[in-house]
Structure 1
Amino acid sequence: MINIKKILVSSAFTISAMAFGQGTFASSNYPQSYENQNSNKDVVSADKLLSAKELVDIKLNSMMNDPVLRNANWGFVVYDPKTMKVISSYNENTSLVPASTTKLLTTETAMNLLGEQFRWITQLEYSGSINEDGVLDGNLYIVGSGDPSLGTNKGGAYTYREIVSDFISAISKKGINKVNGDIIIQTAVFKANKTQTLPENVVWLENGNYYLPVGTTYEINPENEKLIAKKGNPFSANKNFYYISPYIGQMVYADKFEGKYLTTKLPDAPAYLANSLRATLLKSAIPVTGKVVTKMTDIEPEKREVITNYQSPTLAEIVFYTNQHSDNALAEATLRMVGFQKFGDQTLESGRKAVMDHLQKVAFETQGLNYYDGSGLSRSNVVTPISQVKFLSHLMNEKYYRTFFNSLPIGGQTGTLKKTFSNVGNGQIFAKTGTLNKVKTLAGYMKTNSGKTLVFSLLINNYAGSVDQVKSRMEQILEPALSL
């Protein structure tokens, strides 16, 4: 914890001595510009005599009374991974909402348990036999594995058109020119079409046309989810609550919630891919007599042979896209795959258990942690700044550290940090961002001016003012740390 009193007393003596020695006592008879000019010289001279750590601590102290942060709940730690010591901190053990810095835990766990080269595989298979005329007397099967990037172009994933083109090419090479059967969708991961309740306090009312993780708000009480609108209803003297559909992006003012629950589907079976395949086969003069059928489970499966398969980008590429773009859908699907690989179950609960087991294995300080979802959308997630920096420091010893490090946005250059740290810190901050209403967070690594790598966590909740104002304060807090 910073010793502000000691630093300020020492600084006061330093500045007083300088002023006495140089004869710079200001008088109210001097012009204002003259007083400011001399005052600035003193500050610059004092800065030269203060250590980088003292400057960091002084900046933290000044931020405690800043209008944007004065009434906020916030914490900060800058940590040296070599000495394993805290350099400077404020509220380091306070549990705070981490927003999308939660993805650090999700993506790192996935890389640890699945490996950098892990891929989701979608197979095209057939049952029955192919006669000499090229007629398949049997069914085509599309067997999915819950690939969250399927058809999206994310991380280098193929579009549906590209996948269908490859599938049709493989069907032709197999000598099939007619399918006398159905196209059956099946998945090895999602054995049942379960719809799960979204985490409590998920910000489904906060982000217009922003996508949700999978699940439903059916059992969530809207009274616990309401948020005060930034701008009041001009036709009402009282503050009202607003509710936004994540899809239509329309705001509605109300004294109580009268809308319906929202549901998003699991990425269980690639139905769109199957229907696109059937339609394109027909256009390519390869008749399909049957229809698209979904089979989540098959008690007596037909004997089948593989025609071809489509492989997703590697997990390393998926993690890169997830962290650069803060993609909630990819993070949530990755969490479920971790749960499936560890426990054979794709539920949110299995994913959470897999992550928590991993964190305990790597000695993560779970006191003060509540890991509630994979993306950080839920306000029920909390973490302490000190646990984040120790986790990121431990990660530096893992064989996949360089891949993980490269997935983080770079200040002033890439991803969600492209428009932050444009001047000071440009190319020196490598971190995951997090943003919710009145929550702004940043956690990762910094390359100091002397070439050292330090780890930091800066979590700010319930700040005043705008997002741009709090981002400016975050830059000011980190700026002196670059000289450590």
Structure 2
Amino acid sequence: MVNFRKYISGITVLASGFFLAQSTVSTVLYTPAYENQKSTLNLPSPITSMVEKAILSPKELVDINVNTMMSDPVLKNATWGFVVYDPKTKKVISSYNENTPLVPASTTKLLTTETALSLLGENYRWMTQLEYSGSIDENGVLNGNLYIVGSGDPSLGTNKAGAWSYKEIVSDFVSGISREGIKKVNGDIIIQTALFKGNISRLPENVVWLENNNYYLPAGTTQEINPANEKLIVKKGNSFSAEKKYFYVSPYMNQMVYADKYDGDGILTTKLPDAPAYLANSFKTTLVKSGVSVTGKVTPRMTDGTPESRKMISAYKSPTLADIVYYTNQHSDNSLAEALLKTVGFQKLGDQTSESGRSVVTEHLKDISFDLNGLSYVDGSGLSRSNLVTPISQVKYLTSLMNEKYYKTYLTSLPIGGQSGTLKRMFLGTGNGQIFAKTGTLSRVKTLAGYMKTNSGKTLVFSLLVNNYSGSVDMVKKRMEKILEPALDL
């Protein structure tokens, strides 16, 4: 830390003339109500700020703002760390608790998405193929089976990142059946995908998260389970909103599920937990409606010891990995982040579990000389409070990526202050369009890490991780903005 006394005393001497010239001088004390006023934070007045900028360098102003925050009512009892780093000189410009392991929340996605880009490539796509076995006779009867062969596409049917809807994929498959001249299927529709069959994400039942103003919580029991959705009955008295998403552990899939719709009267509805099954059932229904009968049933076949010879009818390609990463980081999409974790595990180790994904990410970080001191990488999304990282390791990691061929894609995926994604409502004034960073929010955790374009054209790297603060999320956001503001003049 720097010696702040000489800076503060200098400010005091020069500012005294300004203050004595004022007819009245008021001192603003911190109260919760004060936060709701339009006044500035409990920091130096505008006149003092003018004097500061006249006599202090931007670096000194950053240091003073950090020092001021140590006694700020919102942060003084918090555990937090901060680093601004120059990637050209490889030197720390300003820091506080930079070596302290802290809960990173969704800035964990920085590790997950970069590992996927590095190991799979920007143009990687998931394939979902329609195939058939057997033969087609002169009457258009397929004496064999139809196969829907998946690859664990996390965007399947979601419309996320430009992905097709179930309806569009089914329409394409039906067109393929028509091209092959198939008028009747004398066999089954078999779902074949060994991917993610063991992906069970169990979480403590007392966990409640706050992420981007969406609550995730285990809730109630299910009813009316069908291939399209399942409904939840939740306890009366819980505060639910149509604008929020809700997390629970699905007894249907026994894994994490996000309820997308609040029906009212204590009922939440989730989209289908088993995308391949829904796709296959929708496909069969549409075939029958179009006049192509199917004598068999829809059935899963995870493994096939004696595979039949098959011919491909149609293949649906997911959006590129670059598109998926962009959507994941802009929207802080937890389900896509977890799917990316499992995909890198499968591609490198042939195993679709989260454990394999964690192992692959950790090995990748070792290979690129990530500082593993203080690192605890538990999940791909950052929902777990067991995740830990140090601010200094984050900035050095982000610096190392600036020389990678996919850096532009990675940088573009990050929300922009005042303009896009989860940063759209931060840095609306100073810093608008200059902050490119991943946000993170859990209960009493607020984090921000990424890059900034300074007013002089430099690119700096920063990490600001705050744990166990007092007050509201908005209060912490204001202080984060205040800390970073003078760094834009570096």
TM-score (norm 1): 0.84
> Residue in 2 aligned with 1:454?
460
Aligned residue identity for 1:395: L
Pairing 1:280–2:271 present = no
Q: 8 Å contact 1:141–1:183 — kept in the other structure?
A: yes
| Equivalence for 2:79 | 73
| Residue 422 of structure 1: aligned partner | 428
Shift of 1:26: 3.1
AA partner of residue 291 (structure 1): K
State which of 122, 125, 132 in structure 1 corresponds to 2:128.
Answer: 122
What is the SS of the residue equivalent to 2:373?
coil
Note the 1:25-40 alignment, pairs <5 A.
26=20, 31-33=23-25
* 1:369-394 Cα shifts (integer Å, max 9, x gaps): 00000000000000000000000000
What count of residue pairs does the alignment treat as equivalent? 439
Task: Report the Cα offset of residue 11 of structure 1.
Answer: 4.0
Cα–Cα, structure 1 residues 372 and 18, in superposed 2: closer, same or farther, change >3 Å? closer
- State the partner residue of 1:100: 106
Q: How far did residue 198 of structure 1 move?
A: 3.0
Q: CA deviation at 1:31?
A: 3.6
1:400-436 CA-to-partner distances (Å, cap 9, x unmatched) read 0000000000001100111111111110100000000
Is 1:194 the counterpart of 2:198? The answer is yes
User: Are 2:21 and 1:16 equivalent residues in the alignment?
Assistant: no
- Residue in 2 that maps onto 1:294: 300
**Cα offsets for 1:85-112 (capped at 9, x unmatched):** 0000000000000000000000000000
Residue 426 of structure 2 aligns with an amino acid whose one-letter code is: T
1:186–1:269 Cα contact (<8 Å) kept: no
1:205–1:375 CA distance, 2 compared to 1 (3 A)? closer
Q: How does 1:132-143 map to 2 (within 5 A)?
A: 132-143=138-149
Q: How big is each residue's C-alpha offset from its partner over 1:143-197, in whole Å with a ceiling of 9 and x where there is no partner?
A: 011111000000000000000000000110011111111100001434xx32535
- AA at the equivalent of 1:13: G
Describe the shift of the 1:157–1:85 C-alpha distance in structure 2 as closer, same or farther (beyond 3 A).
same
Shift in Å, 1:209: 7.3
Partner of 1:166: 172
CA 1:125–1:321 in 2, change beyond 3 Å: closer, same or farther?
same
How big is the shift at 1:327? 0.4
Residue 249 of structure 1: CA displacement? 6.4
Stretch of structure 1 that moved more, 297-306 or 142-151: 297-306
Q: Return 5+ residue gaps in structure 1 as ranges.
A: 214-245, 254-258
Q: Distance in 2 between matches of 1:260 and 1:102?
A: 22
Counterpart Cα distance in 1 of 2:428 and 2:291? 55
Q: Distance in 2 between the 1:251 and 1:421 partners?
A: 38
Bigger mean CA offset, 155-164 vs 292-301: 292-301
Q: CA RMSD in A?
A: 2.9
Residues 248 and 72 of structure 1: CA distance in aligned 2, closer, same or farther (over 3 Å): farther
For 2:444 and 2:236, locate their aligned partners in 1 and report how far apart those are by CA, in whole Å.
18
Aligned counterpart, 1:52: 58
Which residue number corresponds to residue 237 of structure 1? none
In the alignment, what sits opposite 1:438?
444
Partner of 2:325: 319
% same residue = 64
Cα distance in 2 between the residues matched to 1:197 and 1:313: 25
Q: How far apart, CA to CA, are the structure 1 residues paired with 2:191 and 2:19?
A: 83
Amino acid at match of 2:381: S
Change (3 A) 1:206 1:431: closer
Match of 1:264 in 2: 255
Give the conservation status (yes or no) of the 8 Å contact 1:388–1:443: yes
Name the residue aligned to 1:369.
375
SS state at 1:459 partner: strand
Distance in structure 2 (CA, Å) of the matches to 1:15 and 1:459: 31
1:270 match: secondary structure: helix
- Evaluate the alpha carbon distance shift between residue 250 and residue 44 of structure 1 in structure 2; reply closer, same or farther with a 3 A threshold: farther
Q: Which amino acid aligns with 1:445?
A: Y
Relative distance call for 1:7 and 1:165 in structure 2 (3 A) is same
Give the alignment of 1:144-293 within 5 angstroms: 144-190=150-196, 193-198=197-202, 203-204=207-208, 250=235, 263-264=254-255, 270-293=276-299
CA distance in 2: counterparts of 1:166 and 1:307, whole angstroms: 10
Given residue 489 of structure 2, which amino acid in structure 1 is its aligned partner? S
Q: Please give the alpha-carbon distance, in whole angstroms, between the structure 1 residues aligned to 2:372 and 2:63.
A: 27
Alpha-carbon distance between aligned partners in 2 of 1:59 and 1:371, rounded to the nearest angstrom:
31
CA distance in 2, matches of 1:265, 1:419: 29
- Partners of 2:93 and 2:407 in 1: how far apart? 23
Cα deviation code 1:287-335 (max 9, x no counterpart): 1111101111111111111111101000000000000000000000110
Q: Does the 8 A contact of 2:155 with 2:318 survive in 1?
A: yes
Tell me the SS of whatever aligns to 1:94. Answer: coil
CA distance in 2, matches of 1:7, 1:323: 37
Change (3 A) 1:61 1:260: closer
- Contact kept, 8 Å, 1:93 with 1:385, in 2: the verdict is yes
In 2: Cα distance, 1:167 partner to 1:148 partner: 19
SS at structure 1 position matched to 2:304:
coil
Contact residue 410 and residue 427 of structure 1 kept, 8 A: yes
Structure 1 contact 201–379 (Cα < 8 Å) conserved: no
What SS does the aligned partner of 1:420 have? coil
Which one-letter code corresponds to 2:72 in the other structure? D
Q: How much has 1:45 moved relative to structure 2? A: 2.6
Aligned to 2:462, the other structure's residue is in SS state strand
Task: Report the AA paired with residue 4 of structure 2.
Answer: I
Distance 1:124 1:35 in 2: 72
Contact 1:201 1:378 in 2 (8 A): no
The residue aligned with 1:355 is 361
CA distance in structure 2 between the partners assigned to 1:275 and 1:414 by the alignment: 37
Structure 1 residue 345, shift from structure 2 partner:
0.1
**Structure 1 pair 78–42 and aligned structure 2 pair: CA distance change class (3 A):** closer
Give 2:142's aligned amino acid: L
Instruction: For 1:330 and 1:446, locate their aligned partners in 2 and report how far apart those are by CA, in whole Å.
Output: 26
Q: Deviations over 1:11-62 (max 9, x none)?
A: 413542575xxx66839xx7425999x9854541332110000000000010
TM-score, reference length from structure 2: 0.83
Give me the whole-angstrom Cα distance separating, in 1, the residues matched to 2:86 and 2:466: 21
